Amino acid sequence: MNPTAAERNRPRWRSEDPLAGWLGAICLAGLAFFLRRWHLGTPHQFSFDETYYAKDAWSLLTFGYVRTYVEEADKTILNGDLTGLFQDTPSMVVHPEVGKWVIAGGIEVFGMDPAGWRTASAVVGALMVLVMCRFVRRVTGSTVLGLVAGLLLSVDGLQLVLSRLALLDIFLAFFLLCGVHCVVADRQWLRDRLASERARSRWLFWWRPWLLVGGVAFGLACGTKWSGAYTLAAFGLLAWLWSAGARRAFGERRPLLRSVFLDGIPAFVALVGVALATYVASWTGWLMNAEAYEEAFSNTQYTSYGGDDPWPTASEPDAEGLGEVTQSLRSLWSYHQDVYTFHSHFLDDSTHVYQSRPSTWLVMGRPVGVDAQTDIQPGSQGCEAPSGSSCIRQVLLIGNPVIWWGGCLAMVASLLLWIGARDWRHGVAVVGLASTWLPWFAFDERPIFFFYAITCLPFLVLSVVLAMGHLVGSSDVPTPRRTFGVVVAGSYTVLALVAFAWFWPIWTDELLTKSEWDARIWFQRWI
């Protein structure tokens, strides 16, 4: 059968073959998992905040809630002794529990050791690459650009290192990316329904399946860290504005007003309502053990963080008659007041050697050292440094400079194209970056760290591949412009791969001589 004119003119680089797109994404995710699983148990120690999250995850797995642990528990665990480490009293944890439950899954399968408590991060980091491919494929319509985006994400150092540590931020970034992907999918779903259902009852649009899934994803994100709420709010508002724009495009009268009732309310229920339900459900282990927390903290913990109201307890007169579930929820609310007070006031006077201001994050002004052996002498651990020098092993939480610095330039173009050309695709990148980065400026006087910016990375990568798409153009007909675009995009991708190979040793605790390490530490602030 001869192809139609439309088929002949379809650009081959914008392949619509779903099999090719899925196979490519799965292969990239497999490669990413291999890189993240490689020597995952090295270094054999608790690195940075793993000392909290790994033990908290194990406690959740063992008791259903987080208990305090004895002194020198880290050393005992690393020596292989897992007995008698936890006390009977619950611990005052200051982050929700979803991420720690995910870490607990890896511990359950692979054991309570460095490789075991990091496995979940490696799996989720690889899945994030898969979702990135499909997300960008949905935004751009290009399988090639989707795969390039997945490749860039997989060779970024910050994403790599966080996928090799038992910290919470890789889970937050993954769930947020899934949530945003669902909101973009809902945009397309709603437009298709408006096109096919224009003459029918609009009650059908109260059923928004992609937003329901997105609500679950955003709920899991907030259940990992509260900062996920900013992205939920931003994309909830964007989903409503897209709905109003779609109704205007189809010629409906008073599209903004109609969208408030026909789209805004369903979107709020599907996103915020489902997210809230998911968030509360993620505290099930805590709720089932609320009495232990009441006994431990009702008279001391809240006031120690500067609060005024005591915790409600079942023995108080005003709690009589309340059901067990209601009482547990009241205690959970008081617990959240404690945690909010801790985050908003208790850390104000704290400092940390690796803390940084959000204004420096996108240019990687202050990376975070999570492990370092800085004085390995020649002949020790295979060190072949010349006499008078030494070797270094390091794990440094720092991104791929090609991706981050290129992403900053691309984001400027995205802002201009979103405002000037009203290109919704660039709006996704801009709103995504704004909602994951700008809120941190309100907390820049307290210890916050560059690796929080992992949630910004998918949107920087999206901006980069959108710029590539503009450079290459939408047709595969050879032209000087297309050739130039292909060369620039290809060169950028190759340069990112070269940088990945160059920085690999300081991301993965490889042995380097002092001179080799110096060649990779480009700025004094990187030390």
Q: Map 274-293 to HEC letters.
A: HHHHHHHHCCHHHHHCHHHH
- Mean pLDDT along residues 15-20: 70
Q: For residue range 272-329, what is the model confidence (pLDDT) as tens digits? A: 999 999 999 999 988 888 777 777 776 554 444 444 555 555 445 444 445 566 777 8
Residue 315, pLDDT score: 46
Query: 158: which 2 tokens?
Result: 């910050």
Report d(CA 283, CA 138) in Å as an integer: 33
Nearest to 149 by CA among 140, 160, 161: 140
Residue 187, pLDDT score: 92
Report d(CA 303, CA 307) in Å as an integer: 5
Residue 310, pLDDT score: 54
Most confident of 180-184, 241-245, 372-376: 180-184
- Mean pLDDT along residues 145-156: 97
Locate the domains of the chain by residue range: 289-344
Using an 8 Å Cβ cutoff, are 348 and 445 in contact? yes
Report d(CA 175, CA 450) in Å as an integer: 19
Burial of 325 (0-12, 13-18, 19+ CB in 10 A): exposed
| Residue 401 DSSP SS3 | helix
Report d(CA 199, CA 193) in Å as an integer: 11
pTM of the prediction? 0.91
Residue 220, pLDDT score: 98
Q: For residue range 95-126, what is the model confidence (pLDDT) as tens digits? A: 899 999 999 999 999 999 999 999 999 999 99
**Number of residues in the chain:** 527
Q: For residue range 38-63, what is the model confidence (pLDDT) as tens digits? A: 999 999 999 888 999 999 999 999 99
Residue 21 has pLDDT above 80, yes or no: yes
Q: Please tell me what DSSP assigns to residue 3.
A: P
Which amino acid appears at position 307 of this protein? G
Most confident of 12-16, 155-159, 305-309, 392-396: 155-159
User: Where does the pLDDT of residue 453 fall: very low under 50, low under 70, confident under 90, or very high at 90 and above?
Assistant: very high
Residue 228, pLDDT score: 95
Nearest to 88 by CA among 293, 282, 325, 285: 293
Tell me whether the omega of the peptide bond preceding residue 458 falls within 30 degrees of 0, making it cis: no
Q: For residue range 487-522, what is the model confidence (pLDDT) as tens digits? A: 999 999 999 999 999 999 999 999 999 999 999 999
Nearest to 419 by CA among 404, 407, 436, 434: 434
Q: Which residue has the tokens 């609500």?
A: 215
Helices (H), 48-168: 50-63, 73-78, 98-110, 114-140, 143-154, 157-162
- Mean pLDDT along residues 7-25: 65
Q: Which residues pair with 393 in a beta bridge?
A: 373, 511
